[in-house]
Amino acid sequence: MRGSRLGRRVVALLVPIMAAACAQPLSSAAPEGACQAQIILTLEEALEGDPDETLVTDLERRARVDLAYLRAVAPNVFVFTLSDTSSDASCAAALARLSEDPRVRSAEIDVRRTRHST
């Protein structure tokens, strides 16, 4: 009986701590004011399936950005998370660098996922 009371006390103490930890936003490695956005990247040519790691790594290297693949919208349209350590919070420079790649038809902010100020 004593063991079950102790177990309940431990659970009663740990649950609120764990819930508080889960409720905290994830810390970001990007500096304040840096570019971080969800983008829609449209390629010139359709792919069979998801973009391969080689393509994504090469786009990152050429545009000097970090890309994290999220999902496909169409055979040549993909959603990524874009990060750039420059102080351009609008991500305009990073998007322009991505758009300069001949394999990219367009790179734009996913406005459906943009927070609006109230």
Beta carbons of 42 and 80 less than 8 angstroms apart: no
In a domain, 90, yes or no: yes
For the chain, the domain total comes to 1
What CATH number should be reported for the domain holding residue 94? Answer: 3.30.70
Residue 96 and residue 103: Cα distance in Å, rounded? 13
pLDDT, tens digit only, all 118 positions of the chain = 555 666 676 556 555 555 555 544 444 455 667 899 999 999 999 999 999 999 999 999 999 999 999 999 999 999 999 999 888 888 999 999 999 999 999 999 998 855 555 5
Domain residues for the domain of 51 are 35-113
Structure tokens at 56: 């994504």
